[in-house]
């Protein structure tokens, strides 16, 4: 028990306290989360990913393993949520909302800071890869699921051109392949911008959670939370050996599978009228309950 409390205090509590500052700010002011979200998404996060990857000097083969693992978890959890939703005979908008809430996890705002605290820089580099893949899938498959045919595949693919993290990944791979090193002025610029990413992510998480609203779809809420926090990490643990994930890669990958529902799902739900109150409630309660599942998982993974 003492070990679990230490893991919670050292790794999860700092994240929750910073997010609580964002939550209090959202409750007491009229600050718009979207503005901070755009700055984080377009500048801080891509630069952080670039910094982590070029510093880690990960092998291309290791990167491919993490990309495959992430995609497999995403589609398996989305498919499982769909099957469970059909068994429960959920109405179509609720069913799509549940699929999105289960498939899309909060790997940026929450997962990356947590993995950095718990497992260090190498694991954080792998966690950033997981984050990039989920961001790409969110902006393609996630949008297609949410739109239910109202947006064609070409439009979704064109949307990828607006995802800066994809460019950051490509540029980092180029640097790794060529063995290039940033000149000192650019290196210091990148370091400063990357350092702003994680605090911004956590404040943004708190701001978004401050918009919580209750939902009447109790069964859909409970199922989504169970799949996201309970089943998903079990899927990750069993898939990790199949993709050759070991050490820091396994720690990062499995922990990312256990993250609560991503805040971006509330945006998709509002945009496509997919029970936004339900999705907001799933995000709120999965985040609130996540320390109960993440603390023993970190202990199991050696955090």
Number of C-alpha atoms within 13 angstroms, CB side, residue 18?
16
| Cα 202–Cα 121–Cα 263 angle in degrees, nearest 5 | 25
Neighbour count for residue 4 (Cβ, 10 Å): 12
Q: Kindly indicate the confidence band of residue 300, based on its pLDDT and cuts at 50, 70 and 90.
A: very high
Mean pLDDT, the chain, integer = 88
Is 157's pLDDT higher than 70? no
Q: How confident is the model at residue 137 (pLDDT cuts 50, 70, 90)?
A: confident
Mind giving me the DSSP string for 145-200? HHHTTSS-HHHHHHHGGG-HHHHHHHHHHHHHHHT----HHHHHHHHHHHHTHHHH
What would the mean pLDDT of 42-58 be, rounded to a whole number? 85
Please state the pTM of the whole predicted model: 0.86
166 to 64, 105, 109, 153, 201: CA distances (angstroms): 14, 18, 17, 18, 18
Q: Return the closest-CA partner of residue 286 out of 242, 238, 245, 232.
A: 232
pLDDT of 267: 73
In three-state secondary structure terms, 88 is coil
Kindly report, residue by residue over 76-112, the tens digit of the pLDDT.
999 999 999 999 999 888 998 999 999 999 998 899 9
Strand pairing partners for 261? 105
Percent of the chain with pLDDT over 70: 94
121: left (phi over 0), alpha (psi -120 to 50) or beta: alpha
What residues are paired with 105 via a beta bridge?
261
Write out the residue range of the structural domain in which residue 218 sits.
2-27+35-301
State pLDDT tens for residues 103-123: 999 998 899 999 999 999 999
CATH number at residue 282: 1.20.1530
pLDDT greater at residue 140 or residue 215? 140
How many domains is the chain partitioned into structurally?
Answer: 1
- How confident is the model over 200-212, as a mean pLDDT? 84
Q: Which residue has the higher pLDDT, 166 or 186?
A: 186
Residue 91 to residues 165, 255, 265, Cα–Cα distance (Å): 35, 31, 18
User: Which residues, at least 6 apart from 146, have a Cβ–Cβ distance to it below 8 Å?
Assistant: 96, 100, 268, 269, 271, 272, 274
Instruction: Please check the confidence at residue 142 and state whether its pLDDT lies above 60.
Output: yes
Given a cut of 50, whether residue 150 has pLDDT beyond it is no
Q: What is the per-residue pLDDT for 178?
A: 86
Tell me, what's the pLDDT at 156?
57
**pLDDT of residue 303 exceeding 70:** no
């Amino acid at each position: 028990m003492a070990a679990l409390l230490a893991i919670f205090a050292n790794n999860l509590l700092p994240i929750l306290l910073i997010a609580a500052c964002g939550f209090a700010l959202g409750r007491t002011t009229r600050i718009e989360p979207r503005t901070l979200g755009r700055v984080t998404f377009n500048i801080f996060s891509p630069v952080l990913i670039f910094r982590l990857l070029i510093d880690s000097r990960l092998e291309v083969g290791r990167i491919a393993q993490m990309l495959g693992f992430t995609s497999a978890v995403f589609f398996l959890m989305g498919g499982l949520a769909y099957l469970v939703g059909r068994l429960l005979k959920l109405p179509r908008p609720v069913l799509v909302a549940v699929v999105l809430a289960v498939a899309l996890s909060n790997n940026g705002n929450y997962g990356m800071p947590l993995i950095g605290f718990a497992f260090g820089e190498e694991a954080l580099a792998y966690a950033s890869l997981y984050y990039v893949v989920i961001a790409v899938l969110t902006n393609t498959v996630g949008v297609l699921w949410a739109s239910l045919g109202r947006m064609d595949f070409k439009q979704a693919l064109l949307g990828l051109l607006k995802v800066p993290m994809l460019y950051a990944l490509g540029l980092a791979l180029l640097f790794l392949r060529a063995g290039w090193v940033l000149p000192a002025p650019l290196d210091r610029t990148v370091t400063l911008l990357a350092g702003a990413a994680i605090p911004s992510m956590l404040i943004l998480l708190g701001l978004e959670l401050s918009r919580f609203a209750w939902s009447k779809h109790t069964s859909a809420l409970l199922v989504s939370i169970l799949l996201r926090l309970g089943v998903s990490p079990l899927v990750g643990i069993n898939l990790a050996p199949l993709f050759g994930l070991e050490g820091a890669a396994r720690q990062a990958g499995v922990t990312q599978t256990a993250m609560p529902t991503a805040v971006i799902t509330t945006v998709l739900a509002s945009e496509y009228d997919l029970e936004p109150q339900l999705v907001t409630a799933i995000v709120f309660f999965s985040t609130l309950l996540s320390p109960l599942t993440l603390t023993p998982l970190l202990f199991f993974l050696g955090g």
